[in-house]
Every structure is written in C-alpha cells, then in structure tokens.
Amino acid sequence: MSTVMGGGSRTAAKAPKPVVSGRERDGRVAWLFIAPVLIGFVVFYLYPTLRGLYWSFTDYSLLGQPKWVGAQNYVDVVHDADFWRSMLKTLQYVVINVGSQLLLALLLAALMHRLTRSVMLRTTLLLPWLVPNVTTGLIWLWLLDTNLGFVNHLLDSMGFDHVGFFMSPDLVIPTISLINTWGYAGYTALLFYAGMLQIPADVYEAAAIDGAGEWRLFTRVTLPLLKPILALVLVVTLIGSFQIFDTVAATTRGDPAGASRVVYYYIYQQAFQFFHMGYASTMAILLVLILGVLTFVQLRLLRASESQLS
Amino acid sequence: MSLTTSTIDTHLDTGIGSDLLTLSRRRRLTPGRVIGWIVLILALIITIFPFYWMVKSALTPNAEIVADSGRFWPTHPTMINFARTLGLTTLEESQAAGGSGASVNFVLYLWNSVIYCALIGFFQTLFCAMGGYAFARLRFRGRTILFNMLVAALMVPGIFTLLPNFVLVRDLGILNTVWGMVAPSVLMTPFALFFMRQFFLPIPRDVEEAAMIDGIGKIRIFWNIVLPMAKGPLITIGLITVVWAWKDFMWPLLIGRDESVRTVTVALGVYLQQSPNRQPDWTGLMAASTISVIPVIVLLAFLGRRIVESLNFSGIK
C-alpha cells in the first residue's frame, strides 16, 4: 500500500503548480480516492437496485433465468392478504416500538440532564445497544418463557397467572416491540442527552429566575429547542424499526401461526424458502416506496421545525 | 443536515455551564429529584438484570434448570455449559450436560465474527475516509451529482439490495466464504461516507494549503497530514462500524451458512433451532449468549467513555 502511495505523490509533486492545471490534477487523484467507494456503490448498491427493479417484473426462482411477466407480481401483491397482514404486523410493531422507545429515551435523557453527568450511568444504559439483537431476543425469550421464565415467576409470586408472551398471537408483537425498546432506549436517550447538552445553560437559568419549575423548563425550554434533534431521531428510528427482522428470525420465526410475521420476514421467506425472487423483489420495492414517502414527509416536518428554531 | 457536522466537540463547550447549574441545584433534595433518581436507578436495574439472569442461567447445570428457574443463584454452579458451547468437551459429555449432540464450537464462531468485524471495520473506515475527503476537498467533474447518488443509497432499505446481492455472491461462487460475507460493506456504506465528508468539510484548509505550497502531493497530504488529524472521527466511525458488524445477522445468515464461516449471531440462531426436545437447551443458550456479550463488555470497559462521548448526531445510523 505505502509504495503505491509514495509513487503517486511523487508524480503529483513534480506536476507544475499553476492554478490552471490544478483542476486536472485534482481530477486524477480524486478518482483514485473515490475508486473504492465508487466500485462498492456501483456493484453492491446501484447494480442490485436496477436488478431488483427488473426482477420485480419477472418470475424468478433463483435457478435458471428470470421470466418476464409484466406487472403480474404487482397485481398479486395487491391481492396478497398475507402481505398486507405482515404490513399491519410491522406497523403495529413500529408504533409500539418507536412510541415507547422515544418516550422512555426522552424521560431518561431529561432526568440525566437535570440530575447527573455520570459517565458510568450512560455507559451502562448503552450496554443493551451493543448487544446483538439476536442475543437480546434469546435473553428475553428465556426471561419471558411461559413456564420457567423469570417474569412469569414474578407474576406467579404476585398472584397472577402465567403469560405466554411469545405464544399468544395478540401478545407476540407487543412483546417483541418492547424487547427492542429495551435494546435501544438507552442509546436513543444518549442521543437526546447529547442534544440537550447543547442547549445553552443560561436559557435554563433565565427561565429558572422567572420562576419556572422543572416541568415547565422541560416543556417550554428543552422540548422546543430539542425539536430538530427529535425529528431527526424520529426519522431514523422509524426507518430502522420498519426493518425489524433479527429478533423475529431468531426467536419466533413468524409464529404463532404468522402472528409475528413482519414484512421483512415475509419477504425473506418468499425469497429464500419459496424461491419467489421476483415476487420478493416486488414487495421490497413497495416497502422502499412506503419508507420513501414516510421519510419525505418527516423531512418536511423537520425543515419546518428547523426554521422555528432560528 | 448541517446538524451532523458540528456536534463532535460542542458538548464540551456547553457542558461546563450545565455542570454549574446542576451543582448549584444539587444541594436541594426535593421530592421531584428523589423520584427522578428512583426512575434512573430503576432503569439501571432493568438494564442490568437480564444480563445477570443470563449469566446465572449459564452457570446452572442443565438438570437443575427447572428447579433453579426461580432462584437468584444456582444451587450447584458449573462451568460445563461454557465448556460445551465452546466445543471443549466431547460429544458424550456435551449430551450428558444437555446438548443436542450437534457440534457446537463458539471459539470458531467468535473467531469468524472477529475477522468479519475487523475486515469491515478497518477497510470500510479507510475507504470512506478517502472518499469523504475527496468529496469534501478535491475538485473534479461530477462531484456533486456523484455524491448525491451515493448518499441517496442511504434511503434504500437493506432488504432491497440484499436479494440481488445474494444472487451476485452466489454467481461469483463466494457463498460461504469470508469474501462473500464482507463484500457488500467492506468498500463503503453510504452512512460512513456521508459521516466522513461531513467531518472533513468544516476543517480549516490552512495546513493542507501550506503543505501544497511546499509542493507536497495530494496523496501524501492525505496520508501524512489529514489522516492523523482525523484520528478521533476515524476511531469513532470505526467503532460504530465494528459494533454494527458484530450485530449483523441477516446477511451472514444468508451467505455464511457453513459452519466454517458462521458468525456468533448466526450460530446463536442455529443453536436455538438445534434444541433437542420441545424445550430449548436454555443453559447452553445462555452460556452462548454470554459468550456473545463478553466482547462487547470488554469494548465498553476500554472504550466506554469514548463511545459514550462521541454518541450524538454523528453516531446515528
């Protein structure tokens, strides 16, 4: 590596200095600099995007060649009750997960901001985020086990019946949502906390002198000034939340009876269990469109809140 | 989006002021503050307890998992579950301790994960630093359009490119190899590229310009001057990349099915599915889970402060 670099710089150093040739010299070096990212982008982002787009109009089983079927996949998807069910399940997951995660994170961040600067505390809160989702899923699968799980022992000792958190079709999605809230709330709290630290202290002092209490400080100072960060975190969390896969794939695999089959898992099944690659691509495109619209709307909201700040 | 750039050190500026504010208020112990502390301590307990329970279960002999399931400490603590998940026992010993009889070798899976994370962490960071620098500093035709295209890829959900990428890796004949596993992310991710460009944009050009006047070439300037200056963000983005690679599941699951390249996360999933009876082999699973958490704790112990303090907008992914 270093010899290549040395050679390059020698030729560059010998080149004439006038500004006119500067652009060209930049050009050659620049292409060298961006070559790896450009190749990575073309081969693993651009090409697969075009290919996936093409596949969405074909019947492709992973063996042989894709067969052109026009818009058939799109027609099928509209009438696929399982697809819409998985979308609903995903939506349910997203609402519970994002809602609880952001509220909890906001609470923790505000408390830390007003009470302590402890790095120890922040490090501990970050721990679940560093753990693979699969591990988090397994730990909670065990904690919430119907017969032997700690939580059910706890419920037992308080006089309640055992709950089959992963067994009940109604509970499985809320359960998985809250498990991932456990996994990510600390991380999100630290993002909010970092944002709160950027609010100048004198704003609080001024408000406190005016006799504002903690709740008023939070609603009148912290929240409005945190709005841009809130919006950005909301966008990122929402998009990430839609892509729930690991926990489901590692624990329930869509069970009981498809009650936890989220859209990512459904696409995965169509592609790699039933080998409907064309159909899976079509669903992936629909998901892209939905996420695109969501992002667009949210970024508009974000821009609106930014102008408010200035 | 300019939010993302300037956050690296700003908390240091404002931190002092807020510290004074907290200090002056710390004396009064109002009921509100007591409740606040209770909530924080509760959050700490809820954060730590599942890890405790995981380790406790890993130390429980398989035969006593039912009896000990409500106890806070195993009656007869044992290391056998770690030994058998790490592949240190014979098959008979492993089965006697509750294993399924399928081979389990978490030493290998850990090693595979480390290779996977190291390759992605190092090369992605380096290449994105190079690319980010070029997009921030160098002038060349098509720069803006190219950068916008590359960053637009941020919006594409992983599953969309994942399907064709799987087929590509299969057709290249590198399924079940390290190369197939690291291929899509070792060169770039739009996030890392974006982060790096944002980092280079506001840095003053003085040093580089001075070096240029001295006749030092662009490549040497980057290598000898810019990279050392960017050490902090490089480490940050490297760490975040490594953490995400460590957590990766879907792609390694598709590409690295073979045991020889299986990563820890994939192995955990496989282990659950291999469970012999109706009931999963909980003690073994918790031992394996503990093994998957230990590297993370080591990372936190050494770099916790750095990670925590670098986490802000730039840390989002």
Find residue B172's DSSP bridge partners: none
A70 interfaces chain B, CB cutoff of 8 Å: no
- Predicted confidence at residue B287, as pLDDT, reads 94
Report, in this order, helix, strand and coil percent for chain B, each rounded to 5.
Answer: 75, 0, 25
Contact A45 B156 (CB under 8 A): yes
Find residue A59's DSSP bridge partners: A67
Q: How far apart are CA A220 and CA A244, in angstroms?
A: 35
Is A77 in contact with A270 (CB distance < 8 Å)?
A: no
Is A90 in contact with A242 (CB distance < 8 Å)?
A: yes
Is B313 in contact with B4 (CB distance < 8 Å)?
A: yes
Q: Where are the domain boundaries for CATH 1.10.3720.10 in chain A? A: 74-309
- Predicted confidence at residue B83, as pLDDT, reads 87
Residue A24 has pLDDT above 60, yes or no: no
Contact A292 B155 (CB under 8 A): yes
- Predicted confidence at residue A246, as pLDDT, reads 92
Q: Of the candidates A69, A106, A74, which has an alpha carbon nearest to the alpha carbon of residue A193?
A: A106
Q: How far apart are CA A140 and CA A111, in angstroms?
A: 26
- Predicted confidence at residue B2, as pLDDT, reads 31
Question: How far apart are the CA of B90 and the nearest CA of chain A, in angstroms?
Answer: 25
Q: Which domains, and CATH codes, for chain B?
A: 1-317 (1.10.3720.10)
- Predicted confidence at residue B272, as pLDDT, reads 86
Q: Of the candidates B15, B43, B6, which has an alpha carbon nearest to the alpha carbon of residue B312?
A: B6
In this structure, of A247-261, A294-308, B213-227, the range with the lowest mean pLDDT score is A294-308
* DSSP for A87-124, written as a single string: HHHHHHHHHHHHHHHHHHHHHHHHHHHHH---HHHHHH
Side-chain half-sphere CA neighbours of B155 within 13 A: 16
- Would you state the structure tokens that stand for residue A282, as one six-digit string? 């079509």
| Fold type of domain A74-309 | MetI-like fold (1.10.3720)
Stretch A16-36: mean pLDDT, rounded? Answer: 68
Interface test with A, best of B4, B18, B41, B154 (most A CBs within 10 A): B18
The label of the residue with tokens 């001024």 reads: A206
ipTM over 0.95: no
Stretch A154-168: mean pLDDT, rounded? Answer: 89
Minimal-distance CA residue of chain A relative to B155: A292
Minimal-distance CA residue of chain A relative to B294: A131
Stretch A110-124: mean pLDDT, rounded? Answer: 88
A32 interfaces chain B, CB cutoff of 8 Å: yes
Question: How far apart are the CA of A170 and the nearest CA of chain B, in angstroms?
Answer: 22
In this structure, of A156-160, A162-166, A303-307, B58-62, the range with the lowest mean pLDDT score is A303-307
- Predicted confidence at residue A306, as pLDDT, reads 60
- Predicted confidence at residue A207, as pLDDT, reads 86
Mean of the per-residue pLDDT values for chain A? 85
- Give the containing element (helix H, strand E) for A293: helix A277-309
Q: How far apart are CA B172 and CA B271, in angstroms?
A: 29
Give tens-digit pLDDT for A185-220: 999 999 999 888 888 888 888 888 888 788 888 888
Residue pairs spanning A and B at CB distance below 8 A: 341
Q: Of the candidates A12, A16, A2, which has an alpha carbon nearest to the alpha carbon of residue B227?
A: A2
Residue A25 has pLDDT above 90, yes or no: no
Question: How far apart are the CA of B134 and the nearest CA of chain A, in angstroms?
Answer: 6
Give tens-digit pLDDT for A42-93: 999 999 999 999 999 999 988 888 889 888 999 999 999 999 999 999 999 9
Question: How far apart are the CA of A124 and the nearest CA of chain B, in angstroms?
Answer: 7
Contact B157 A112 (CB under 8 A): no
- pLDDT (tens, 9 = 90+) of chain B, 317 residues, equals 333 333 333 333 344 444 445 545 555 678 888 999 999 999 999 999 999 999 999 999 888 888 888 888 888 888 888 888 888 877 777 777 777 767 788 999 999 999 999 999 999 999 999 999 999 888 888 888 999 888 888 877 788 899 999 999 999 999 999 999 999 999 999 888 988 888 888 888 888 888 888 888 888 888 888 888 888 878 888 888 898 999 999 999 999 888 899 999 999 988 888 776 567 888 999 999 999 999 888 888 888 777 777 765 444 43
Q: What is the DSSP-derived secondary structure letter of residue B294?
A: H
Contact B289 A25 (CB under 8 A): no
Residue A236 has pLDDT above 50, yes or no: yes
Give tens-digit pLDDT for A1-12: 333 333 334 444
Interface test with B, best of A29, A142, A191 (most B CBs within 10 A): A142
Is B216 in contact with A9 (CB distance < 8 Å)?
A: yes
Contact B139 A22 (CB under 8 A): yes
- Predicted confidence at residue B278, as pLDDT, reads 65
Of B22 and A279, which is predicted with more confidence? A279
Contact B164 A47 (CB under 8 A): yes
